[in-house]
Structure 1
Amino acid sequence: MTQPRKTRQNLTNYDVVELLRSEIEQSEKKMSSKLFFAHAVNVLLLALFIMFYVSTESQKVRNYAAEAMQKSFEAERAVHIIDEAAGTNFLEQSKIGE
């Protein structure tokens, strides 16, 4: 690693190269830290989006499951009412047969 030299009145090409090299290294460090921060934020936002999407979709699945259970209970109740109205009692006969 080179030590930065003091600026002199009469700059040589070597002094200019050393100054430019140090400026480039500093700018590379700044850019790499900014890029690292940007990538970290990107990963966090992507994880947040995935969590939000999954939680939203799970609500829809729960709603579909609740709706399906409600329809099955209504269908079972309708079959029971029809069975009692017809006087056939198929449901009770099927329970005894099992």
Structure 2
Amino acid sequence: MESLRKAVQGSSHGVLVSTGCLGKLLDCRRRHGLYAAVQPCAVDRRPSGPVARLGPIANVADAEALSAWLRRGMPDDGTLPDRLRAVPSPAGAAHLN
């Protein structure tokens, strides 16, 4: 969590919230670890891109890879390992905004 916290703190508009499983957004009951849902936003916090569902974040290396990807601005360039791209819940994913 600490590397994720630092990545969010380094963002001028980032917010980190800890919660239980977001069952309608993520299928997080099958594999153990932390899960995240992140969405790029404009200065006024309006969404500027799609939600990225991430996890499971199972160890420090996973958290550091995710943190580095967040600090780079969530690029869609293949730098985020596929194992960290979570699937939406079977019921479908609700929009965050």
TM-score, normalised by the number of residues in structure 2: 0.19
Larger fraction in strand: 2
- For normalisation by structure 1, the TM-score amounts to 0.19
- Work out which of the two has the higher radius of gyration on C-alpha atoms and give 1 or 2: 1
Q: Quick one: higher RCO (CA 8 Å, sep 6+), 1 or 2? A: 2
